[in-house]
Chain A
Amino acid sequence: MSAARGHLVYFSSGSGNTARLVEKLGLPATRLPMSAAAPVPEITEPFVLITPTYADGEGLGAVAKPVIAFLNRAENRALLRGVIAGGNRNFGATFARAGEVIAAKCNVPLLYRFELAGTETDIARIRAGLDTFWGTQCLTPA
């Protein structure tokens, strides 16, 4: 029996990088809609968010619109426990910036950063890290 775990919520655009990472994690996960106009999913248990980054050269516009729409719903935001962000180190200082933005705005830890669809090491670290992390968290909604 594994320890009680929270949920994963993720966004992945048509490039599918984050979706491939989540598939390799093999953990229960809810995918956010690709369009910001689509209905926002309602989450009922504590979760970690996995999201790619879309920043321009100045770091603006880092968080995808559907992720913003999802976090704008206060009930969802209250259950967010941490964020894992994708990106590309070729973007220099703005690498995985979406993670920093969400961590700062929602007052949760930036748990991990990966490039594109991640590597085997990333998958192993995220799995192990989530196990430890959920062990330290109170999973009862406030």
Chain B
Amino acid sequence: MKDTVTTARPVPAAINWNRLQDDKDLEIWNRLTANFWLPEKVPLSNDIQSWSQLTDEERQLTIRVFTGLTLLDTIQNTVGAPTLMPDAQTPHEEAVLTNIAFMEAVHARSYSSVFSTLCQTSEVDEAFRWSSENEHLQAKSRLILDEYDAASNPLRKKIASVFLESFLFYSGFYLPMHWSSRARLTNTADLIRLIIRDEAIHGYYIGYKFQRAIERLPEAERTELKDFAFALLFDLYDIEARYTEQLYDELGLTEDVKAFLHYNANKALQNLGFEALFPEDACRVNPAIMAALSPGSDENHDFFSGSGSSYVIGKTVATEDEDWDF
């Protein structure tokens, strides 16, 4: 018996980007590569003065929150995105996942840029120790990693991945948006907004691939996956609520953060093609946080939500797109 030949890894087909099985792969590749950035692009040192004006407690909270975010990015970089690759339906999907994995490494690396620019080494070491021992941070990581386990269902991996990308980051993202709304650490907030933009595309794309995959399944399996998704979200929310209380009670921000969590949990479910879980009155995010999230986007009232007559036709915007004929 010669089995050496049959157990060898098959040679993959060379990837041809001019023959697409799914146009979404190229669309997302183009968007992710156009959005590529490195932390060196952001003038973090302009935040040194602002950092010195925070209290000791506020500084400790900020560093801890950022180590928590670093952990999630590390998981997604080294385990999350790579573990989705064997399930890819097209070679282009695999290529997009390598971009996602690398950008997660850039995100994780950028928190260390914030630390080296603003913080004392001892404070940062203390915060990394804190994150490795924090029960809530460890518990949510454990729940996600259990789904990433190779033995798990490929579609459950995608659900866990979308929840990490589109939900679990937001207890952390809240804080730099809060500081930004008070004109503090505004350059750090610019960097975080670049991360938020990337994570939004990641959650959207993985959620899209999930939707494509379940289309082919019988109704019973689709229902089972949906039940699993809502159950996992409940479990993660439970941990996030306690993590949020632990971090933000002292600043009196817990309820404000929770509204932001509900809002983002609903968006994570929409990425998977599911309906919202949290009722809208639980999702009323502080307008200052929404303004920090998308600065400048609410300068114009639209017709239906404005006073009725104050809408504008629209200012001239860049449309360097050769496809327009007029």
- Interface residues, chain A, CB within 8 Å of chain B? 13-17, 20, 34-36, 54, 56-63, 65, 68-69, 71-72, 74, 77, 82, 88-97, 99-105, 107-113, 115-117, 119-121, 125-126, 128-129, 133
B280 near A121: Cβ-Cβ < 8 Å: yes
CA distance A77 to B325 in the complex (A): 11
A90-B293, A91-B200 are contacts. A112–B303 as well, Cβ < 8 Å? yes
Q: Kindly specify which of B125-133, B142-150, B242-250, B294-302 makes contact with the partner chain.
A: B294-302
Asked if B313 is at the interface (CB within 8 A of a chain A CB), the reply is: yes
The residue that A57 contacts in the complex, of B23, B35, B270, B283, with Cβ under 8 A, is B35
- New A-B pairs, 11, CB < 8 Å, besides A15-B24, A89-B293, A100-B315: A15-B208, A60-B318, A89-B297, A90-B197, A92-B297, A93-B296, A100-B300, A101-B314, A101-B317, A108-B313, A111-B311
Closest partner residue, chain A, to B290 (CB atom) = A89
CB-CB under 8 A from A101, the residues of chain B are: 314, 317, 319
A74-B326, A90-B199, A91-B294 are contacts. A15–B314 as well, Cβ < 8 Å? no
18 contacts between A and B (CB under 8 A): A14-B212, A16-B211, A54-B31, A58-B34, A60-B318, A60-B320, A65-B323, A72-B324, A72-B326, A94-B297, A100-B317, A103-B314, A109-B302, A109-B303, A110-B300, A110-B312, A111-B304, A115-B267
A74-B326, A90-B293 are contacts. A109–B311 as well, Cβ < 8 Å? yes
B294 near A95: Cβ-Cβ < 8 Å: yes
A65-B323, A108-B313 are contacts. A14–B304 as well, Cβ < 8 Å? no
CB-CB under 8 A from A82, the residues of chain B are: 303
Closest partner residue, chain B, to A83 (CB atom) = B314
B35 near A56: Cβ-Cβ < 8 Å: yes
CA distance A126 to B303 in the complex (A): 10
CA distance A58 to B199 in the complex (A): 17
The residue that A61 contacts in the complex, of B212, B311, B321, with Cβ under 8 A, is B321
B294 near A93: Cβ-Cβ < 8 Å: yes
CB-CB under 8 A from B194, the residues of chain A are: 57
CB-CB under 8 A from B208, the residues of chain A are: 14-15
CB-CB under 8 A from A133, the residues of chain B are: 303-304
CB-CB under 8 A from A103, the residues of chain B are: 313-314
B100 CB, nearest partner CB in chain A, Å: 15
Q: Which 5 A-B pairs have the closest CB atoms?
A: A129-B304, A103-B314, A90-B200, A104-B314, A56-B34
B318 near A58: Cβ-Cβ < 8 Å: yes
B302 near A89: Cβ-Cβ < 8 Å: no
CB-CB under 8 A from A92, the residues of chain B are: 193, 196-197, 293-297
Asked if B232 is at the interface (CB within 8 A of a chain A CB), the reply is: no
CB-CB under 8 A from B326, the residues of chain A are: 71-72, 74, 77, 105
CA distance A13 to B323 in the complex (A): 18
B15 CB, nearest partner CB in chain A, Å: 21
B107 CB, nearest partner CB in chain A, Å: 14
CA distance A60 to B31 in the complex (A): 10
Interface string of B262-303 (1 = CB under 8 A from A): 000011001101001000100100000010011111001011
B242 CB, nearest partner CB in chain A, Å: 25
CB-CB under 8 A from B55, the residues of chain A are: none
B297 near A107: Cβ-Cβ < 8 Å: no
> Looking at B34, B290, B302, which has the most chain A CB atoms within 10 Å of its CB?
B302
